[in-house]
Chain A
Amino acid sequence: DTAVSQTPKYLVTQMGNDKSIKCEQNLGHDTMYWYKQDSKKFLKIMFSYNNKELIINETVPNRFSPKSPDKAHLNLHINSLELGDSAVYFCASSQDGSNTGELFFGEGSRLTVL
Chain B
Amino acid sequence: ELKVEQNPLFLSMQEGKNYTIYCNYSTTSDRLYWYRQDPGKSLESLFVLLSNGAVKQEGRLMASLDTKARLSTLHITAAVHDLSATYFCAAVYSGGSNYKLTFGKGTLLTVNP
Contacts and interface: CB of A to CB of B under 8 A. Distances in A.
Interface residues of B, number: 24
Interface residues on A, range: 20 to 34
Which label, helix, strand, loop or mixed, suits the secondary structure of the B interface?
A: strand
Contacts, number: 58
Contacts of A56: 97, 99-100
Interface in B33-72: 33, 35, 37, 41-45, 48, 50
Contact of B50 (A45, A100, A107): A100
B50 A106 contact: no
Contacts of B35: 105
Interface of B: 31, 33, 35, 37, 41-45, 48, 50, 86, 88, 92, 97-103, 105-106, 108
8 contacts: A45-B102, A50-B99, A55-B99, A101-B92, A101-B99, A103-B45, A105-B42, A108-B41
